[in-house]
Structures are given as C-alpha cells and as structure tokens.
Amino acid sequence: MNRILIPNPILFGATPPEGAVLPVTADLGGLDQYLALGLVGPAATVEVAEGAGWAALSYPHLLTAGQTLRLRRSDPQPTLTTLLMLAPVADLPPDGTGTTPAFVVSTDLDGYQTIEGAEITLDAEGYQTITNATATADADGYQTVKES
C-alpha cells in the first residue's frame, strides 16, 4: 500500500535531564506511523521505548502506537535541534473529525453559499432559517453556521 507522507519535523531546545517524553498513540497527530529520519542542529539524543528500557533510535525508524519517544538535549544555545519526521496524510473529511459532516458548503463565483444537508424553513418575507444548525455571529454581524 502506498502512503502519502509529508514533512512534519519536531523542533526542540534544551530539555530537563530526564528529557521530553512523548507517548506514541494512534490518535490523530499522536505520532503513530510517523517516520523519524534523523537529527539536524545541536547535538541531542533521541530514544525509543516499548515497555521498559530506552534504546537509541536508529534511522529511519517507523514509530508505532505503544512506543514512547524521549528527546534529550543539554546544550542551552538558542538554535533548535530538528528531528526530521515524515507524517502520514490523514484521510479525513474537510471538518477534520473523522466523521462525515452533515453539511457540505459550496460557494459560487459570486460568493453565495449553498449548504447541502441543511434543513430549512422560509418565513413570510423569504428569509431562511436552518433548523438543524446553530449560528454564531462575529463582530461585524456575519454568521458562521454549524451543524447542531
């Protein structure tokens, strides 16, 4: 299976002596299936643990849920160390939740929107109310409609 990977580095400066510990989870952005490629910048140590004990990371390394990543750097200089990483592209709908949104909004060339999936009613003057949504107005009075 081909996966699309995009650059998603981790930048870090000096850490406490015990390091910065990052659990690898299957949650969105949880580092699962990220590919660690190497370090650039001031010297640092990157270790991985799966269960008990830490081992130096050898590159390239595919992170998997259940592992723990530890970043350690004692050098206090302001230049950051970069852990080069590639992240898998998530196959999510535009709302980013992993669920299919009820509303699909499209905009025509004149800027008018059509909201598919909206349940509407018309009043006597022709104004629409979306009955399965809530609206939030900004400081200028423009509304953002969200599924309710």
Could you report the per-residue pLDDT of 97-136, keeping only the tens digit for each? 555 556 777 677 777 777 777 787 878 887 777 787 777 7
Alpha-carbon separation of residue 38 from 18, 28, 29, 148 (angstroms): 21, 22, 19, 45
pLDDT of residue 119: 80
Averaged pLDDT for residues 77-84: 95
68: closest CA among 22, 26, 27? 22
> The pTM is what?
0.60
For 52-63, the pLDDT digits (tens) are 899 999 999 999
Over 80: is that where the pLDDT of 67 sits?
yes
